[in-house]
Homo-oligomer: A and B are copies of this chain.
Amino acid sequence: MSLIVQKFGGSSVRDAVRIKNVARIIAETYLQGHDVMVVLSAQGDTTDDLIAKAEEINVHASKREMDMLLATGEQISVALCAMALEAMGLPCVSLAAWQVGIHSTSVHGDARIKKIDPDRIQAELDSHRIVLVTGFQGTNRRGDVTTLGRGGSDTSAVALAAAFHAELCQIYTDVDGVYTADPRLVPDARKLQEITYDEMLELASQGAQVLHNRSVELAKKFRVNLEVLSSLEHKPGTKVKEVAKVEKTNIAGVAKDTSIARVALIGLQHNPGVAFKVFDVLSRKNINVDVILQSIGRENTKDISFTIHKKDLREAEDALNAQKDTLCFDHLETDEHIGKVSIVGAGLMSNSGVAARMFEALYEAGINIQMINTSEIRVSVLLDEEDVNRAVRAIHAKFFDEM
């Protein structure tokens, strides 16, 4: 029988009513004759509630104990959902990550899945039970509980789908698919029927909140067919696969990201290796750098601008200023009021007109571009934060209204 993995996020299981709804979706798939494996997140606000409990006691609690605490959230979800399936008379079993044997690296709070033991799950599937597995967690070589970090349940689902060669991995969320732009911002944004892994990756890293990057990377690596769909509306979602139908527009969507800040080092000595030194300082602090721009300044100095996550800004400033003498720059400037708008599409860079159309849309809207950054399938521009939403609408209209 073909195996389908279904993942439901925290809002999809937030209370008894939602859990019963999830059980109906699972039951329908099971009764169609599929083997079904279900991956669940913690209910609604459970994780936040547990964090609040911890902070009442110790704001500097170790990540090891935090993982031990938070892992209870998904265990509650799988047990409750199993009970809902039992009420429908369906054979099922809930399993925590440690029972399955989901082996992870040791980094508490941000572990990576290394290996999944097939035995227990396979035995349950062979007995025709629906298997419910806790998302977001694993155990390390010490036998301690780890959690996988942001988007961890998506990653659990994809890893299980890969390990058991599932026909399909369905990610149920509170949106019904991947859109050409955020529908809250662009009312006539369209839902994509299909999208490639690479496009999804770029959209995810450019701010589209549907799927977490790591899960898409894993899906791409193991060729797991993904589908993003809504747990509340019964209709097809967006399929993520190796090759997707190319739409006439050449782009899959427009994404925005306003969580970034810009840092500029002004008047750097124009010596070899200076860029390496700058980014080495940041990498040692685990600060991810995105768009980088380097320009020759006056008198044989140069300027380097780059973007980082807003939350890392203070730490980056401190780290760079502490190395001011070694790095030999004149001064440091920062700007938190910027945003990034990107277009993503598989055929984008082989079609030179696409980037030009994007710039044309911004020009027509009177929006100034601060920096430009491109990849094979993406063009990103940095803008004033206040221009971001207008830019998304203008670009979306340019590409999708003229089809």
A interface with B by C-beta (< 8 Å): 16, 19-20, 50, 53-54, 56-58, 60-62, 64-66, 68-69, 71-72, 75-76, 78-80, 82-84, 86-87, 93-94, 96, 98-99, 120, 143-145
Contact = CB atoms under 8 A, between A and B. Distances in A.
Contacts of A80: 53-54, 57, 69
A106 to B, nearest CB: 14
A65 B79 contact: yes
A10 to B, nearest CB: 15
Count copies of this chain in the complex. 2
B83 A75 contact: no
Given A16-B53, A94-B68, A58 B76 contact: no
Contact of A83 (B61, B79, B94): B61
A229 B94 CA distance: 38
B68 A16 contact: no
Which of A60, A64, A65, A80 has the most C-beta atoms of chain B within 10 angstroms of its own C-beta? A65
Given A16-B53, A53-B16, A60 B87 contact: yes
B65 A69 contact: no
Given A69-B80, A78-B68, A87 B16 contact: no
Given A16-B56, A57-B20, A83-B58, A99 B65 contact: no
A120 B143 contact: yes
A7 B62 CA distance: 23
A54 B83 contact: yes
A144 B95 CA distance: 8
Given A58-B86, A68-B94, A69-B80, 7 more contacts: A19-B57, A58-B87, A65-B79, A68-B75, A69-B75, A71-B75, A72-B75
